[in-house]
Structure 1
Amino acid sequence: MTERETQLHHVVFAVAPERQAAVAKMFTELGFSFDSTELTELGLTIYLDWSGGIELISAVPGAKADVAASVSDFVERNGDGVYTVVLRVPGASDAEAVAERYGSKIRFRQSISGEGSYLDEIDLSVLGLPLTLLSTNIP
């Protein structure tokens, strides 16, 4: 990691599926470079530029996963917009304990590890702010 152990990592925008490609094209024309994937278990399509600090997520139409439902509900209520701000932290569970002291509510949690890599992610709302706590050794 850099000299700061905790830092802003990236911003996640939720967009309606029918606009995701156009939004990705606009950001690409602004100089961002996306990798795209579909996470079927989450019911999401994702365009991600970690080094540029932007992620675009859309629910796969008809997906039943909780995360897809949350993203669809967000877009229905708010339109396209900032879904969460991802903070890279040394330990997601330690950062979660801090957020709990301020009344956080967990929206989503995942932990992935294998072949020497790990990623712990806790998506929560605290003091009205949508935050994701990310601890990973993936650059």
Structure 2
Amino acid sequence: MTAGPQPRLHHVVFAVAPERRTEAAALFTELGFALEEAELTELGVRVHLDWDRGIELISPVPGSTASVAVKVNAFLDRNGDGVYTVVVRVPDAAAAEAVAGRHGSTTRFRQGFSGEGSYLEEIDLSVLGLPLTFLATNVS
């Protein structure tokens, strides 16, 4: 993992219950974040994201049975609103996952796409009790 760009903190993802999502987004907007809102229907979540400033709010779509919605609901039931994962940008997500695997990680979710010169690979896992997501992308 030494070739190419060095790993760096990319953003923090907060899980927020749907009934508090609007207020949480307003808070961060008033603090100066420029949140873009999107519903990721296939994942069953609504997000507010400011990649440039390093923050994402994620809420399950009420009633969704999509795998990510189920996991976010379980997190919220167990912990309440809070830090869901910390996203680390890495040159190679699979290589980072292999390193985490040597430390006993459990992969929770993965997604990726490539085409038209763009790629994104995201691997969400738990390692040493830490919620981490490895992100390799050329999408800004």
What corresponds to 1:25 in structure 2?
Answer: 26
1:69-90 Cα distance to aligned partner (Å, 9 max, x none)? 0000101110100000000000
Task: Mark the runs of 5 or more structure 2 residues left unpaired by the alignment.
Answer: none
- Secondary structure of the residue aligned to 1:41 is coil
Is the contact made by 2:5 and 2:91 (CA closer than 8 Å) also made in structure 1?
Answer: no
Corresponding residue of 1:129: 130
TM-score (normalised: structure 2): 0.96
- For 1:99, the equivalent position in structure 2 comes to 100
Runs of 4+ residues over 3 Å off in structure 1 = none
Partner in structure 2 of residue 70 of structure 1: 71
* Unpaired stretches in structure 1, ≥5 consecutive residues: none
Output the CA distance in 2 between the equivalents of 1:112 and 1:72.
25
Instruction: Write the letter of the residue equivalent to 1:87.
Output: V
- In the other structure, the counterpart of 1:58 is 59
Report the RMSD for the aligned CA atoms in angstroms. 1.0
Mapped to 1, the partners of 2:45 and 2:78 lie a distance apart of 18
Partner of 1:36: 37
**How far is the alpha carbon of 1:4 from its aligned partner?**
5.4
Instruction: Note if 1:46 corresponds to 2:59.
Output: no
Per-residue Cα deviation, 1:98-120 (whole angstroms, up to 9, x for no partner): 00000000110001112111100
| Aligned counterpart, 2:83 | 82
TM-score (norm 1): 0.96
- Return the offset for 1:42: 0.2
